[in-house]
């Protein structure tokens, strides 16, 4: 298919039809807790095992607090749903109604399962534009800082050591690290 003299060949790609798009519009300030949250997955390489871990995180934009996170060996819808449900269990359901939950357009976040969980809790899913990580800059920055301050400075040999390092750093981030 040609569009504006550019050839696109995505036969199996389905666009986000009938979805809510970028409600956040790079406005990363929230006036209260549970008003706006951002979520994303980052890949974490374990060099000696030649494997990856996947960290799914949800951050509240009011105080930049990590509401929930999960680590998995698989990048799938289950990881995102488990992270979301962990965050939802910590918050009164009435306070969640109307909350904007912003993510990229990854397959996990555009899945029917994810949208159904959002709908059942009254959440408004919001999506970054394709190929625009700045639309989700807060969580992209968080993941970058996590990697710079931990993973890139250590020689981690095992999955277990990597998971422990991530848990320790997130605890440090929640308790002591200055958040801008």
pLDDT tens, 139-177? 999 999 999 988 887 788 899 999 999 999 999 999 887
Q: Does the pLDDT value for residue 179 go beyond 50? A: yes
Listed by start position, the domains of the chain span 30-175
- Average pLDDT value for residue range 38-47: 94
CATH superfamily of 30-175: Ribonuclease H-like superfamily/Ribonuclease H (3.30.420.10)
Q: Tell me, what's the pLDDT at 138?
A: 96
Secondary structure (H, E, C), the chain = CEECCEECCCCCCCCCCCCCCCCCCCCCCCCCCCCEEEEEEEEEEECCCCEEEEEEEEEECCCCEEEEEEEECCCCHHHHHHHHHHHHHCCCHHHHCCCEEEECCCCCCCCHHHHHHHHHCCCEEEECCCCCHHHHHHHHHHHHHHHHHCHHHCCCCCHHHHHHHHHHHHHHHHHCCCCC
Q: Which of 5-14, 126-135, 162-171 has the highest mean pLDDT?
A: 162-171
Other beta carbons within 10 Å of 9 = 6
Q: Tell me, what's the pLDDT at 10?
A: 45
Residue in 32, 118, 41 with CA at minimum distance from that of residue 76: 41
Q: Tell me, what's the pLDDT at 14?
A: 46
Angle at 126 between CA 122 and CA 132, to 5 degrees: 165
Q: Tell me, what's the pLDDT at 13?
A: 42
- Average pLDDT value for residue range 78-83: 98
Give CA separation, 164 vs 56, 71, 153, 167, in Å. 15, 11, 15, 5
For residues 3 and 90, the model is more confident at 90
How many Å is the maximal CA-CA distance in the chain? Answer: 52
Q: Does the pLDDT value for residue 5 go beyond 70? A: no
Secondary structure (H, E, C), 82-115 = HHHHHHHHCCCHHHHCCCEEEECCCCCCCCHHHH
């Amino acid at each position: 298919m040609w569009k504006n003299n550019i050839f696109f060949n995505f036969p199996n790609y389905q666009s986000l039809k009938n979805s809510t798009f970028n409600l956040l519009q790079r406005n990363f300030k929230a006036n209260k807790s549970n008003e706006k949250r951002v979520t994303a997955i980052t890949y974490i390489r374990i060099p000696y095992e030649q494997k990856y871990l996947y960290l799914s995180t949800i951050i509240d934009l009011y105080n930049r607090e990590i509401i929930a996170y999960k680590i998995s060996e698989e990048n799938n819808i289950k990881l995102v749903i488990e992270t979301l449900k962990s965050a939802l269990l910590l918050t009164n359901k009435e306070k969640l109604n109307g909350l904007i939950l912003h993510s990229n357009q990854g397959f996990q976040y555009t899945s029917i399962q994810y949208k159904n969980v959002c709908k059942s809790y009254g959440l408004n899913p919001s999506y970054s534009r394709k190929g625009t990580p700045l639309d989700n800059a807060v969580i992209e920055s968080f993941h970058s800082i996590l990697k710079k301050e931990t993973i890139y400075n250590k020689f981690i040999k095992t999955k277990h050591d990597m998971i422990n390092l991530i848990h320790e750093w997130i605890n440090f981030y929640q308790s002591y690290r200055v958040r801008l």
